[in-house]
Chain A
Amino acid sequence: MSNENLKAKLAEFDAKVEKATAKFPERKNVPAKRIYTPLDIENTEYESEIGFPGSYPFTRGVQPTMYRGRFWTMRMYAGFSTAEESNKRYRYLIESGATGLSCAFDLPTQIGYDSDDDISTGEVGKVGVAIDSLADMEVLFDKIDLGKVSTSMTINAPASVLLAMYIAVAEKQGVSADQLKGTIQNDILKEYAARGTYIFPPKPSMRLITNIFEFCSKNVPNWNTISISGYHIREAGSTASQEIAFTIADGIAYAEAAIKAGLDVDAFAGRLSFFWNAHNNVLEEVAKFRASRRVWAKVMKERFGAKNPKSWMLRVHTQTAGSMLTAQQPNNNIVRVALQTAAAVMGGTQSLHTNSKDEALALPTEESVMIALRTQQIVAYESGLADVIDPLAGSYYVEALTNKIEKEAWEYIKKIDEVGGAVAAIEKGYIQKEIQDSAYQWQMDVESGAKVIVGVNKFQMEEKPVEGLLRVDAAVGEGQKQKLIAMKAKRDNVAVKASLDSLEKACQDEQENLMPYILTAVKTYATLGEICGVMRKVFGEYEAHVSL
């Protein structure tokens, strides 16, 4: 059919439907067009915009084999209470077929305070495992071969310290740093914009990040030095386009900082990784994954002039959307997670964490974690969704939506460039404001019923309180405190002080790479709080920009 012919047919179809919708009004919050046709992608050049998996611009995936080679890494984010408890959960997950570890740390650890700090009261071991020193890290990975497992650590402001501890534990196991595989999140910009666990101001934070890039490129070559995260931006309420736009803008800022620090783009770009959210709207999410790969490939090739194809690839870890899980009728969350998993898989993720049904209520129990892992296995082995690469390519709608999301992302990136880049945009509160506006709009849509959340604003029912939730014993905090005191009495406190003093001096000299100093300090069993305390003293603390 010629385009002219198709246009006429489409007009005919629309007229027919218009007539019908006079009687049956269409739902709200659905795409503007009711059907998509070849007309919607007539300007999309297959070779340059879609192409083949493993080739620029990677719209269809970063590897030529994708899941025909092997499935994504099924990586379950876990950690709570003490290192002993978390170690048990990790070993249980590995025995159940999880192929990677993902460590959750408690809030004091994420913000660089020890468990015996006043400010930590009530928080120790709550949202993750408490790590005060190398001693805890040794317990956390006890009987887990760090030469074999790949470990992702959700740690940002003190990422350098936790990475140093990991390297030190491996060394004790006889595993050298160049054999280590894994990821640190290390993405401070989204902490300022959306997640809130920052410590230092942007300048020294960016220095720490580039120090890690440089150190790892020489010593831990298989380590993913950063996981540039849209996940939390989305959780904070952004749209799909904003998620990838703000995250890629952050990625641009990191690349610029590293290049400014004298690194060659191809020396670090291949170790940059991303972290997306898998939300409820399956087709929009698939389009988002595809668009994000295309945008990043263009950024790396055209803007930064990267030569190595590895530098162009947006490799991504995904987590299903925690904020979409409901406290009401929690079993429904199993279905939501299954759909989100389908989206991430059809979107071509490299690894995936699936949330558990009870996470709107508390930390997940072992049973619900198992269902979440089984969900991934069912999608992988039974659903057929992973059988061919990028199965939705060529869908008029999905291709058009991919184009639309890409366009919106470029518009945001342009705006952020005009403001002076991601750091400036965050300092001015621009990104935060955009996210908050979207979050508020979402909430208003839910309250007006324009957006339906099953069990929340439609199809509600009386429910009995959920029983059997996981609880972290309040005694964990006290126990962790006692352990810390005992450890401090045993260690060589002269060596600790010496290592902290030289770290302080190194902090004052902007030319120094801090990683070797931090590594020395953790090996003396200097605590996380002590090390971050030294850096706080020199660097100061970030003051949040809030505009409502």
Chain B
Amino acid sequence: MDIAKEVLNGSRLALSRAITAVENEHDDAVDIMKKLYPHTGRAFVLGITGPPGAGKSTLTDKLAKEFRNRGKTVGIVAVDPTSPFSGGAILGDRIRMNELTLDEGVFIRSMGTRGSLGGLSRKTAEAVKIMDAFGKDVIFIETVGVGQSEVDIVSAADTTLVVLVPGLGDDIQAIKAGILEIGDVFAINKADREGADKLNIELNMMLDLDGNMNKQWRPPIKQTIAHQNEGVIELLETLEEHYEQLKSTGQLTTRRTERTKNELLNILKNEIGNYVLGKITESGQFDKLVKDVEGRMDDPYSVVNNIIKDMLK
């Protein structure tokens, strides 16, 4: 079947197969993406990240239901870590979204990190594009974090929600590293737990220290109790508000231009790298060059300069 065409015709099976093609790097993956690309750029892409046990999946489930109540279709890409020992993974986010499974306006796809971090962020971004081309109005990327890989993954999002939870110990220090920069909106989930107010105060202080005072958008902090569906509507409206603000200030275009630039650069680097590497390994030249550098008969800088001169004239 022509997978891309079927995706555009609304086939859920094709949508699923297209994501597999990208994830498994099938030969037809590039072709599919080429055909779908013109139909992308319409969805509101929402990144959700936070520490394990914060209730991200439950919150995603409730937000998705609320978007559905408002007539929006929803796609969800849920990323879980792959075991470094076996290469296998338990992808368990769906379990909190079982009620969404039979809603035809929702499509949920679980992905394992599979070890290749750079590759992963590209694949999740492509899965989002496929859902976008399929016609989903809102697309969630949910990932556990926050490490550099998660930062990369959610960089495909227009708005990033960071979910925190009281009572994870000395978490506030850990949170500091990396998380403040990427959050456009913060949710303190399980807000009925002890320590919610303290977390709120500390987070507010850190956001102010972070120099947000002078920015156009000072990330708001919302309190939720996801499993009781409390605070979900307010949170959703804040997320939409952020998106509207991005649009009205022109930042959405800036962000998306930046993203397109990065994408283009990544693809370019990837392709050039593969092209050059293919050539020089084919001829056996590469092994010789490695030996030369190793033996200090040549240096890596000159070697690369020469390769480029040869190859790209």
Question: A515-548: which residues lie under 8 A (CB-CB) from chain B?
Answer: 540, 543-544, 546-548
Question: B207-228: which residues lie under 8 A (CB-CB) from chain A?
Answer: 227-228
Q: Counting CB contacts under 8 A, is A428 at the interface?
A: yes
Residue of A nearest to B227 (CB): A543
Interface size on B, residues (CB 8 A): 8
User: When chains A and B are docked, how far (Å) is the Cα of A543 from the Cα of B227?
Assistant: 8
Q: Which A residues touch B58, using CB under 8 A?
A: 543
Interface size on A, residues (CB 8 A): 8
Question: B41-56: which residues lie under 8 A (CB-CB) from chain A?
Answer: 53
Q: Which B residues touch A201, using CB under 8 A?
A: 227
User: When chains A and B are docked, how far (Å) is the Cα of A201 from the Cα of B225?
Assistant: 14
Most B-side CB within 10 Å, residue of A428, A543, A546, A547? A543
Q: Which B residues touch A543, using CB under 8 A?
A: 58, 96, 227
Q: Counting CB contacts under 8 A, is B87 at the interface?
A: no
Q: Which B residues touch A540, using CB under 8 A?
A: 228
Contact B53 A546 (CB under 8 A): no
Tell me the minimal C-beta distance from B243 to chain A in angstroms.
28
Q: Which B residues touch A428, using CB under 8 A?
A: 53
Contact B227 A548 (CB under 8 A): no
Contact A544 B53 (CB under 8 A): no
Residue of B nearest to A429 (CB): B53
Q: Which B residues touch A546, using CB under 8 A?
A: 92, 95
Contact A548 B53 (CB under 8 A): no
Q: Report how many A-B pairs have Cβ atoms within 8 Å.
A: 12
Asked if A548 meets B92 with Cβ closer than 8 Å, knowing A428-B53, A543-B58, A543-B227, the reply is yes
Q: Which A residues touch B53, using CB under 8 A?
A: 428
Q: Which B residues touch A544, using CB under 8 A?
A: 95
Tell me the minimal C-beta distance from A471 to chain B in angstroms.
31
Q: Which A residues touch B117, using CB under 8 A?
A: none
Q: Counting CB contacts under 8 A, is B268 at the interface?
A: no
User: When chains A and B are docked, how far (Å) is the Cα of A201 from the Cα of B58?
Assistant: 15
Tell me the minimal C-beta distance from A434 to chain B in angstroms.
16
Q: Counting CB contacts under 8 A, is B264 at the interface?
A: no
Q: Mark B100-142, 1 if CB is under 8 A from A, else 0.
A: 0000000000000000000000000000000000000000000
Tell me the minimal C-beta distance from B63 to chain A in angstroms.
15
User: When chains A and B are docked, how far (Å) is the Cα of A540 from the Cα of B228?
Assistant: 9
Tell me the minimal C-beta distance from A267 to chain B in angstroms.
30
Contact B96 A547 (CB under 8 A): no
Contact A548 B96 (CB under 8 A): no
Residue of B nearest to A546 (CB): B95
Tell me the minimal C-beta distance from B127 to chain A in angstroms.
23
Residue of A nearest to B99 (CB): A543
User: When chains A and B are docked, how far (Å) is the Cα of A463 from the Cα of B96?
Assistant: 43
Tell me the minimal C-beta distance from A196 to chain B in angstroms.
13
Residue of A nearest to B167 (CB): A420
Tell me the minimal C-beta distance from A390 to chain B in angstroms.
44
User: When chains A and B are docked, how far (Å) is the Cα of A543 from the Cα of B225?
Assistant: 13
Residue of B nearest to A542 (CB): B227
Q: Mark A178-207, 1 if CB is under 8 A from B, else 0.
A: 000000000000000000000001000000
User: When chains A and B are docked, how far (Å) is the Cα of A239 from the Cα of B58?
Assistant: 31
Tell me the minimal C-beta distance from A419 to chain B in angstroms.
10
User: When chains A and B are docked, how far (Å) is the Cα of A428 from the Cα of B193?
Assistant: 12
Contact A547 B227 (CB under 8 A): no
Q: Which A residues touch B95, using CB under 8 A?
A: 544, 546
Residue of A nearest to B229 (CB): A540
Most A-side CB within 10 Å, residue of B58, B92, B227, B228? B227
Q: Which A residues touch B174, using CB under 8 A?
A: none
User: When chains A and B are docked, how far (Å) is the Cα of A547 from the Cα of B90?
Assistant: 9
User: When chains A and B are docked, how far (Å) is the Cα of A547 from the Cα of B144?
Assistant: 14
Q: Mark B32-69, 1 if CB is under 8 A from A, else 0.
A: 00000000000000000000010000100000000000
Question: A416-432: which residues lie under 8 A (CB-CB) from chain B?
Answer: 428
Residue of A nearest to B226 (CB): A543
User: When chains A and B are docked, how far (Å) is the Cα of A234 from the Cα of B254?
Assistant: 58
User: When chains A and B are docked, how far (Å) is the Cα of A242 from the Cα of B34?
Assistant: 56
Residue of B nearest to A203 (CB): B228
User: When chains A and B are docked, how far (Å) is the Cα of A201 from the Cα of B90?
Assistant: 25
User: When chains A and B are docked, how far (Å) is the Cα of A548 from the Cα of B80?
Assistant: 12
Question: A248-288: which residues lie under 8 A (CB-CB) from chain B?
Answer: none
Residue of A nearest to B52 (CB): A547
Question: B137-196: which residues lie under 8 A (CB-CB) from chain A?
Answer: none
Q: Which A residues touch B227, using CB under 8 A?
A: 201, 543
Residue of B nearest to A201 (CB): B227
User: When chains A and B are docked, how far (Å) is the Cα of A85 from the Cα of B227?
Assistant: 42
Tell me the minimal C-beta distance from A297 to chain B in angstroms.
32
User: When chains A and B are docked, how far (Å) is the Cα of A404 from the Cα of B40?
Assistant: 64
User: When chains A and B are docked, how far (Å) is the Cα of A60 from the Cα of B31?
Assistant: 76
Tell me the minimal C-beta distance from A546 to chain B in angstroms.
5
Tell me the minimal C-beta distance from B175 to chain A in angstroms.
19
Tell me the minimal C-beta distance from A418 to chain B in angstroms.
12
Q: Which A residues touch B90, using CB under 8 A?
A: 548
Residue of B nearest to A543 (CB): B227
Q: Mark B70-107, 1 if CB is under 8 A from A, else 0.
A: 00000000000000000000101001100000000000
Q: Which A residues touch B92, using CB under 8 A?
A: 546-548
Residue of B nearest to A548 (CB): B90
Tell me the minimal C-beta distance from B114 to chain A in angstroms.
18
User: When chains A and B are docked, how far (Å) is the Cα of A540 from the Cα of B99?
Assistant: 13
Q: Mark B239-270, 1 if CB is under 8 A from A, else 0.
A: 00000000000000000000000000000000
Tell me the minimal C-beta distance from B58 to chain A in angstroms.
7
Tell me the minimal C-beta distance from B221 to chain A in angstroms.
23
Tell me the minimal C-beta distance from A406 to chain B in angstroms.
30
Q: Which A residues touch B96, using CB under 8 A?
A: 543
Tell me the minimal C-beta distance from B122 to chain A in angstroms.
28
Q: Which B residues touch A547, using CB under 8 A?
A: 92
User: When chains A and B are docked, how far (Å) is the Cα of A259 from the Cα of B92?
Assistant: 37
User: When chains A and B are docked, how far (Å) is the Cα of A448 from the Cα of B233?
Assistant: 52
User: When chains A and B are docked, how far (Å) is the Cα of A154 from the Cα of B103?
Assistant: 35
Tell me the minimal C-beta distance from A526 to chain B in angstroms.
27
Tell me the minimal C-beta distance from A340 to chain B in angstroms.
34
Q: Which A residues touch B228, using CB under 8 A?
A: 540
Residue of B nearest to A541 (CB): B99
Tell me the minimal C-beta distance from B213 to chain A in angstroms.
37
Tell me the minimal C-beta distance from B66 to chain A in angstroms.
16
User: When chains A and B are docked, how far (Å) is the Cα of A540 from the Cα of B230?
Assistant: 13
Tell me the minimal C-beta distance from B269 to chain A in angstroms.
37
User: When chains A and B are docked, how far (Å) is the Cα of A82 from the Cα of B58?
Assistant: 39
Question: A287-307: which residues lie under 8 A (CB-CB) from chain B?
Answer: none
User: When chains A and B are docked, how far (Å) is the Cα of A13 from the Cα of B228?
Assistant: 63
User: When chains A and B are docked, how far (Å) is the Cα of A540 from the Cα of B96?
Assistant: 15
Tell me the minimal C-beta distance from B47 to chain A in angstroms.
23
Tell me the minimal C-beta distance from B88 to chain A in angstroms.
11
Q: Mark A401-443, 1 if CB is under 8 A from B, else 0.
A: 0000000000000000000000000001000000000000000
Q: Mark A201-221, 1 if CB is under 8 A from B, else 0.
A: 100000000000000000000
9 extra interface residue pairs, beta carbon distance < 8 Å, beyond A540-B228, A543-B227, A546-B92: A201-B227, A428-B53, A543-B58, A543-B96, A544-B95, A546-B95, A547-B92, A548-B90, A548-B92
Instruction: List residues of A whose CB falls within 8 A of some B CB.
Output: 201, 428, 540, 543-544, 546-548
Q: 12 A–B contact pairs at CB < 8 A?
A: A201-B227, A428-B53, A540-B228, A543-B58, A543-B96, A543-B227, A544-B95, A546-B92, A546-B95, A547-B92, A548-B90, A548-B92
Task: Give the 4 A-B residue pairs with the shortest CB-CB distance, closest first.
Answer: A548-B90, A546-B95, A543-B227, A546-B92
